[in-house]
Structure 1
């Protein structure tokens, strides 16, 4: 799994280009779909908090892998069927407060 993180980091530069309309869709998805488990204010619920403070030390590539592949044995589903790696990185950056 660590090798995949390295490959993602090499293949997709920080701030990979996401069209503005897709960015709006991804933001809506985070607020609605992720918010349904992580709380509509992202302060936690069934899932852990996803605030910028809670994720300040989180690795963006690691977050992207969790978004894409989920967490087995938990309620965190894999989103890979619906998202590209660039989109997962965009979401990771968005959650960390680092989107362009």
Structure 2
């Protein structure tokens, strides 16, 4: 919980450069999509549609992205993502959900 609060505090106003945002969007579609389905409707991983994420908080999703989920196929992405980038991805998923 403390990490989620820290993420909220440190990432609230963070800006991601446009070139990195493009790379992160590609990562969501390709890397996340390899488990969550290319349209984010589920697969090995759970759905990441707007409906499935309804009520989720960006900070909580960023924590899951960074730390993974033990006992599942969800890996930790902390070695290659910053907290700001994980929060960007979380907000992207909350805003876009299903990839068309």
Paired with 1:22 and 1:56, the residues of 2 have a C-alpha distance of 26
What's the counterpart of residue 62 of structure 2? 64
Paired with 2:10 and 2:27, the residues of 1 have a C-alpha distance of 24
Alpha-carbon shift at residue 8 of structure 1 (Å)? 1.1
What's the counterpart of residue 51 of structure 2? 53
What's the counterpart of residue 10 of structure 2? 11
What's the counterpart of residue 25 of structure 1? 23
- TM-score of the two chains, using structure 2 as the length reference: 0.92
| DSSP-derived class of the 1:96 partner | helix
Gaps of 5+ in 1: none
Count residues with an aligned counterpart: 96
Q: Deviations over 1:7-43 (max 9, x none)?
A: 11112215x2000000000000000000000000000
Paired with 2:93 and 2:67, the residues of 1 have a C-alpha distance of 17
| DSSP-derived class of the 2:95 partner | coil
- TM-score of the two chains, using structure 1 as the length reference: 0.92
